[in-house]
Chain A
Amino acid sequence: MMNGLEHYLSIFTKAVFIENIVLAYFLGLCSFLAISKKIDASVGIGMAVVVVLTITAPINWFLYEFLLDKGALAWLGEDFANIDLSFLKLIVFISVIAAMVQLVEMFMERFSQSLYNSLGIFLPLIAVNCSILGGSLFMVEREYTVIETMVYGFGSGVGFFLAIVALASVRYRLHYSNIPVRLRGVGMAMLLTGLLSMAFMAFSGIDL
């Protein structure tokens, strides 16, 4: 474990800027486009994504590592050492995400009424936000350790937060500009996202 902290910092920076989950991997675009019309709402959903991604990625890591992966059931005894349940990962991950979203919602309702009121309506939407499932799938594909997974989940959430708030601010300013009628709305948002994505690509030269 040489330079532990630096290693995690580099995963974080990578997840936020260089491999931004929205702008480089196109995940979570549905809510990204639909909600970025308003800045307040964007901040709300951005925070909800950060919370849910940070929680679900490590949980899914544990499930994958100790139940689903090939040989993961070895702790049950010799007979189970060859079982490969990884084809179940999609169903397990999505159920964990849906359940966690419900739990987070109930928890917030109980302990933080103000946060619940500001995030409330966005939480159910997050269950079907591709960036959450994508975070878990990427973690499996890249074979992260548990701490790396936590850092990666948090970083991806922050990346989503940054991107959606940035787009919402730009769209807010566009109210006063003269865009061709048929390009208004999603078309323009797409072109803007392209520009944002180009801006974030400037980070891609950084070698961590």
Chain B
Amino acid sequence: MELFNSESKKIINDPINVNNPISLQVLGICSALAVTIRLDQAIIMTLAVIFVLCSSNVILSLIRDYIPARVRIVIMLSVIASLVSVVDELLKAYLYDMSKQLSVFVGLIITNCIIMGRAEAFALKNGPSKAFLDGLGNGLGYGMIIIIVSFFRELFGAGTITLPDGGAGYVLWRIPEAWYAAGYENIGLLVLSPGAFFILGLVIWGQREWFGLEEDV
């Protein structure tokens, strides 16, 4: 199979646009909201999810013929849990500050429904190379949404834009003091939990408007 024929492009593109895991499949929302207070957290979380999603998809796709249907949930969970433990230990070793900030939410990648959902819906039915592309596409789709949400939450809530580095984050830009002096104020609500729900709701609305998609209720 050629790597970049139209079918594999579709496997990668669809989850980013018209079949986005967060805004259209409605999977993996828990972590999407919890780690979006700052941009750097969202970026690290995206990388962690892409790693786990691609590897779990490939592993499960390789062993898909040997998994009995009745116990597949337990097998999927143990594969995913092992991969997440690896990520957790790696973060603790190399990005300790970040792993403290993300606290339990790294562990909760296990129950991130995107990973179980894609394993169940795609990896158990397709070959490893396709499963890898599907994992990559869904990981990028997830990342796109949480990076947009965290960008708005951090910029308007805390007045900074932070990129990840080895320690506590590198502040790329912050709103100048002169703006505050002129009467500008941060929207404190965005840093709190309701703000996350509002921004994500609006992003979902915007994306559906953009692609002209709707949901039958």
Contact = CB atoms under 8 A, between A and B. Distances in A.
Interface of A: 23-30, 33-34, 37, 87-91, 94-95, 98, 124, 127-130, 132-134, 137-138, 141, 175, 180-191, 193-195, 197-198, 201
Given A134-B108, A185-B215, A25 B89 contact: no
B205 A90 contact: no
Interface residues of B, number: 50
Nearest to B103: A141
Contacts of B215: 184-186
Interface stretch (B60-68, B165-173, B189-197): B189-197
Contacts of B84: 90
A124 B73 contact: yes
Contact of A133 (B74, B110, B196, B209): B110
Interface string B193-212: 11111101110110011001
A141 B88 CA distance: 15
Interface stretch (B6-14, B23-31, B42-50, B126-134): B23-31
**Is the contact region of chain B dominated by helix, strand, or loop, or is it mixed?**
helix
Contact of A26 (B23, B30, B202): B30
Contacts of B108: 27, 130, 133-134, 137
9 contacts: A27-B108, A30-B26, A128-B113, A128-B116, A130-B31, A182-B208, A185-B214, A187-B205, A197-B194
Nearest to A124: B73
Contacts of A95: 74, 77-78, 81
Contacts of A190: 197-198, 200-201, 204
B82 interface: yes
A183 B205 contact: yes
A135 to B, nearest CB: 10
Contacts of B73: 98, 124, 127-128
Given A26-B32, A87-B85, 4 more contacts: A90-B81, A94-B110, A133-B107, A185-B216
B150 to A, nearest CB: 13
B153 to A, nearest CB: 12
Nearest to B116: A128
Contacts of A201: 192-194
Contacts of A193: 197, 201
Contacts of B202: 187, 191
B103 A187 contact: no
B125 to A, nearest CB: 19
Contacts of A195: 194
A186 B211 CA distance: 16
